[in-house]
Structure 1
């Protein structure tokens, strides 16, 4: 039997040689050695040994033990090596012999413990990641007036959030603390990412106390102080959040916080793997973190930058944030950029002090401070000849230049960011280069909440800064909502999804607050969705709202509109509100028909790939509504000239539209003296709003009456809104490849049904049916995504029910041709006795009482035949219609006689009458 010794006894003997008040790094390695060897059972040994230190804190011992992984790579051999330094001799004492079988049993137990701990740790990390995501989702964007940020002299960024400590405690289930003190007040939340996944959060309270989420994975993870790292030329890696913020704000470069010196190397290696072409500069903290920064930079061939404070460095001045608050942003930027020129794999073998840049001559520069942007000039003292700084010149409130970009019209722009004075709303604005330094540019900046210095000298300095200083990231500039570079831009300016390129929305944001979400998707589904069940009109309105994002995906040539019409108090506006609630607050989303054609089309642009909601067509001018329908739903702006003689690039969009009114669109145009066109009628589809048992509703789900139901449904739509549309866009992003085939299959089914039931249906009917198929598909998809509370078959049935009612009202004939036939027959009937001269058999004629249209003859059965003069035929009888198309239609209907042997449509009626159009009244059904 082999001789095997009792390891536990050896551990206790070795531990007795190590003083418990060793340096913290050694103390930590002792703990890690014990945990690797004995698992959780080793805590009692570690705690008893640690109690011998005068600095013993029970909570610190416990927290450190919990943070250590049993398989972290520090074995019991490390403990013995440390003990030997303090005089331990493993051969000086007899060892206790243990049976090899016992040793094997202990090894198996240790392996089992290690595996069990790994599983527990993985589960705990998964739970921590879930908690972290929940905190981030519920936290508010961090504000510049947070006491910690103000004390550090930095402003908040997009990736930083905040939450009250009490609410945070309820959410994570415990009260976070640091050094035995609880975090209090407003707590900053910095999401920590390992790869692309959020694994934990760093929490910082008003006093600067820091704590990480219990059990969260932090190794190799970091907090990103800036977006769009894929476009950056350099990545700055700092230890802490404040240092990363200072570095980013001072240089405009991308910056991350590793959150501990020991994590710098892993973060640097991750950044190098993900961004192989970017330069990497590690920002060292003076003291213990200095060597760690050098090691991290060396591992990736990067550079090291150290802060410099001159001869009068304070004891608490150790990092670039301290340098920022003392010397300003220009000094920090200069130090970091100079260091970036030095560091490479060979030079990093020198000490960290040698890597930092040497201060140079005083130079004029810009400084971004908490209270604004300053220009710091220099002057030469006449007496001493020394170069001195002059008093800083305030230019404007705090402002960042993020980069440049160009819009669809080719205008070069600078991308700016600031926080509106008062409510601190973040403003991201793309300013045309042509406006920089001009009155219009200053006015725009002021109107968006930026304070600008009134003096000429300050404005000149600011204009130079806007053009030449700041970041150099290239942005795509869009003035359109909807699908843009893989993301979906809401009319509020918010993005759903991450764009494939840095993107700035520079379009107008009318009624921005109306497009902010209220409630949750579940709330909307359980109220609006539930009450809309089995109600065809409401389901159609909701489908119309969901259909907006599909149009670009399927390559639709124009938009889709539904016009709900009937007398007042039918519930049509309630249906419209339900559709509008998919995207926002119906009261704010709703616009009016009462506007110019230009205003209507500009409003349509804001609803690109979404829904435009227009109430009460009767409020508009029929002369403007007719062209407006074409422009809004054709999706192309009018051509406009420029002052220089050029042409403004036309804009295009696609949208769905819901309109309401007391009469149909066609009737309203006709009453206003406008002739409705088939093209208008298949763009804005007239849907009767009295199709159900309760006017607009088929069922009221047990409510007292239709009015009570309408009130409840309207209230639900106005309390829960803006969530379903966002969720639907997210669903489409992962199902985009299915959309086109899904819609085409539905269109084929519905067109097949029309061909079967109405084989002679006009092309316009089929074209409109294809539009209805898009609405049916949208309702099916939203239901498939579990957003409506309906099944896919239910959604299809209810929206197709609304289509069937539209088809019944619209008919299956060519509407333009029907209007032509009705018009011609009506002109003949109305003027037969007053404006047509009757030709008697003896050649005599009757007298007209009005301007003559032509001549009439009667056969033996007293049936008239009209010979219409060519000018009267074109200008009155077929007014508003194409002559060739009208003649073909009239001939097909049996109303126009085409002479034999003659290519034209006129008949020779003799020398006195000349050539005329020979017409008959429209045959009635029996005559046909």
Structure 2
């Protein structure tokens, strides 16, 4: 059963009389307007008896003396709404807190914790900046106020951060919401909202962090990948990761911190040494944002092997068959001293090629100065990495939300259609100059680089990066070119190598094979017609050597070969002049997918 949430039109307006309206105006603090918009009134009409919200805080009528008197029990707090999951479970209370800096913060308190005692119920509010009064029993009075509060508004409780709904006009980052107030994040997601320095602004991040990335292709890629998170759902593409691998102390971890600073100011970077369930929760917290993972080489290869597919596919083991549990889309960055391929080679089965384009290996120790090319007048790479890391820590946490805010201003199908067309152009630009009918995995990798480049260019156009127009695209396209050269030169192994060798041959020579209707026996590599490539036995043996029969068996089992029978490997091709040739007949539409 799915809980029916009230629409915005049917959400109750707070009851008000002339006295209450006057109280509301005198409060000046308007958390309802901060969250729900200017039409929402911060009325105290629904407060439990014996409590008042005043300018300096929440007051209660204390009955500890013979003559009851009003005492201040805490700084200003305000119960705003209740929330629950789509199945009607997990009820919580959404409370606004006015912190010591005068800022409005929001906390979710599960009903189970409200009923469990003062400590569990009050901890989320204390963490947001609530302070107690000086009188006795104030904790008990605040707790009683929360338990008795029953605001009329009911919101959906999201089980993943990021975009809510399909209109791209509401985005959650823990207790922070951007756009329309249609949902709140589950309490478990509030832990993901890293604190940002009070003085941090997008402008300071651009000047101290973004400009230092200019001239450094790997930094351009890392930061652009951070901005790519909110675009994945808009572009209707899967999440993909880049693995920055290289020797220790070359700047890899600094690049992770710089990318992470787009969304947070934390100096703590998660590592691959986590359980599958731990990564699932982290992915839900970072949904539609950036997920960073450090030190792959220290993790269990078995965990890494499963996690690559899990993160890219958007569902974990515990959530795949549970419709109530959401999936995720994350842009992710990883680091390690060795490539994912070498790390996974420790397992009994070797890495499949699909993993290599879900987690794309990028060397991070072969630039002019380790991971960097332009030190921006610093004495050496160590000083540059130190300055960049400190700036990321001090100024992080504002640029990502500001980027989302600009996307929310457009929202809807118009936003999706516009950027999907832009992605197609960027992807075409990545592939420009490569052979037509490139391997499907190359196309997928090109799309991943194109998504990052598009995100970097959009962030630049919105004034967030400090880069020149086109700089992200050029830098990331160069990195894709380097990746493609490595991909083409890397010797394949295992059954997938049969497919790769065959595809590479057809990419280079398939279009030049003569039509079967004009072909002659002998001397040619093969022929083609509208539906097939026909390779001679000699060509096949040259391609696959001692593995020729195994290669044909594998491709037949993959339904890529047309054969005489279910057990045969070749096909008899009739040529002009009544000649017949035993060939390997490859389906064009299947081999090119």
Same fold (TM over 0.5): yes
Q: What residue in structure 1 maps to residue 364 of structure 2?
A: 689
By relative contact order (CA 8 Å, sep 6+), the higher-ranking structure is: 2
Q: Within 2, Cα distance between the matches of 1:657 and 1:499? A: 27
Instruction: Report whether the alignment pairs 1:593 with 2:268.
Output: no
Q: What residue in structure 1 maps to residue 81 of structure 2?
A: 403
Q: What residue in structure 2 maps to residue 809 of structure 1?
A: 486
Q: Within 2, Cα distance between the matches of 1:684 and 1:865? A: 31
Instruction: Report whether the alignment pairs 1:510 with 2:290.
Output: no
- For residues 762 and 436 of structure 1, do their structure 2 counterparts lie closer, same or farther at Cα, with a shift above 3 Å needed? same
Of the three residues 769, 773, 776, the one matched with 2:453 is: 776
Q: Within 1, Cα distance between the matches of 2:183 and 2:295? A: 40
Q: Within 2, Cα distance between the matches of 1:666 and 1:430? A: 43
Q: Within 2, Cα distance between the matches of 1:572 and 1:704? A: 19
Conserved? CA contact 1:248–1:254, under 8 Å: no
Instruction: Report whether the alignment pairs 1:531 with 2:212.
Output: yes
Q: What residue in structure 2 maps to residue 904 of structure 1?
A: 567
Q: What residue in structure 1 maps to residue 234 of structure 2?
A: 553
1:111-510 matched pairs, under 5 angstroms: 231-234=11-14, 236=16, 243-244=23-24, 366-368=49-51, 400-411=78-89, 413-417=91-95, 428-431=106-109, 435=112, 439=116, 444-448=120-124, 466=147, 470-484=150-164, 486-491=169-174, 493-496=175-178, 498-501=179-182, 503=184, 506-510=187-191
TM-score, structure 2 as length reference: 0.69
- For residues 423 and 374 of structure 1, do their structure 2 counterparts lie closer, same or farther at Cα, with a shift above 3 Å needed? farther
Query: CA shift at 1:535, angstroms?
Result: 1.1
SS of residue in 1 equivalent to 2:283: helix
For these two proteins, the number of residue pairs brought into alignment is 494
Q: Within 2, Cα distance between the matches of 1:729 and 1:704? A: 36
Query: CA shift at 1:787, angstroms?
Result: 1.4
SS of residue in 2 equivalent to 1:726: helix
TM-score, structure 1 as length reference: 0.46
1:586-665 matched pairs, under 5 angstroms: 586-588=266-268, 590-639=269-318, 649-665=324-340
1:821-836 matched pairs, under 5 angstroms: 821=498
Conserved? CA contact 2:423–2:450, under 8 Å: yes
Q: What residue in structure 1 maps to residue 260 of structure 2?
A: 580
Please tell me whether Structure 1 or Structure 2 has the larger radius of gyration of its CA atoms: 1
- For residues 373 and 503 of structure 1, do their structure 2 counterparts lie closer, same or farther at Cα, with a shift above 3 Å needed? farther
Conserved? CA contact 2:239–2:314, under 8 Å: yes
Q: What residue in structure 2 maps to residue 89 of structure 1?
A: none
Q: Within 1, Cα distance between the matches of 2:478 and 2:500? A: 32
Conserved? CA contact 2:375–2:381, under 8 Å: yes
Query: CA shift at 1:607, angstroms?
Result: 0.7
Query: CA shift at 1:748, angstroms?
Result: 4.0
- For residues 518 and 414 of structure 1, do their structure 2 counterparts lie closer, same or farther at Cα, with a shift above 3 Å needed? same
Q: Within 2, Cα distance between the matches of 1:408 and 1:772? A: 36
Q: Within 2, Cα distance between the matches of 1:689 and 1:422? A: 44
Query: Where does the alignment leave 5 or more consecutive residues of structure 1 unmatched?
Result: 1-227, 257-270, 282-328, 335-364, 378-388, 825-862, 893-897, 908-928
Q: What residue in structure 2 maps to residue 359 of structure 1?
A: none
Query: CA shift at 1:519, angstroms?
Result: 3.0
1:368-417 Cα distance to aligned partner (Å, 9 max, x none): 2567767989xxxxxxxxxxx9989x9x9797543333223432624242
Q: Within 2, Cα distance between the matches of 1:253 and 1:774? A: 37
Conserved? CA contact 1:408–1:477, under 8 Å: yes
Instruction: Report whether the alignment pairs 1:678 with 2:356.
Output: no
1:532-579 Cα distance to aligned partner (Å, 9 max, x none): 1121111000100011111122222x2121110011122222222221
Conserved? CA contact 1:417–1:426, under 8 Å: no
1:28-82 Cα distance to aligned partner (Å, 9 max, x none): xxxxxxxxxxxxxxxxxxxxxxxxxxxxxxxxxxxxxxxxxxxxxxxxxxxxxxx
- For residues 403 and 575 of structure 1, do their structure 2 counterparts lie closer, same or farther at Cα, with a shift above 3 Å needed? closer
Q: Within 1, Cα distance between the matches of 2:195 and 2:27? A: 37
Q: Within 2, Cα distance between the matches of 1:903 and 1:697? A: 55
Q: Within 1, Cα distance between the matches of 2:98 and 2:31? A: 23
1:239-268 Cα distance to aligned partner (Å, 9 max, x none): 89982278999xx99899xxxxxxxxxxxx
Query: CA shift at 1:476, angstroms?
Result: 2.5
Q: Within 2, Cα distance between the matches of 1:784 and 1:561? A: 24
SS of residue in 1 equivalent to 2:200: coil
Query: Where does the alignment leave 5 or more consecutive residues of structure 2 unmatched?
Result: 1-7, 127-131, 502-543, 571-593
1:867-878 matched pairs, under 5 angstroms: none
Query: CA shift at 1:478, angstroms?
Result: 1.8
Of the three residues 754, 757, 769, the one matched with 2:434 is: 757
- For residues 786 and 431 of structure 1, do their structure 2 counterparts lie closer, same or farther at Cα, with a shift above 3 Å needed? closer
Q: Within 1, Cα distance between the matches of 2:233 and 2:560? A: 41
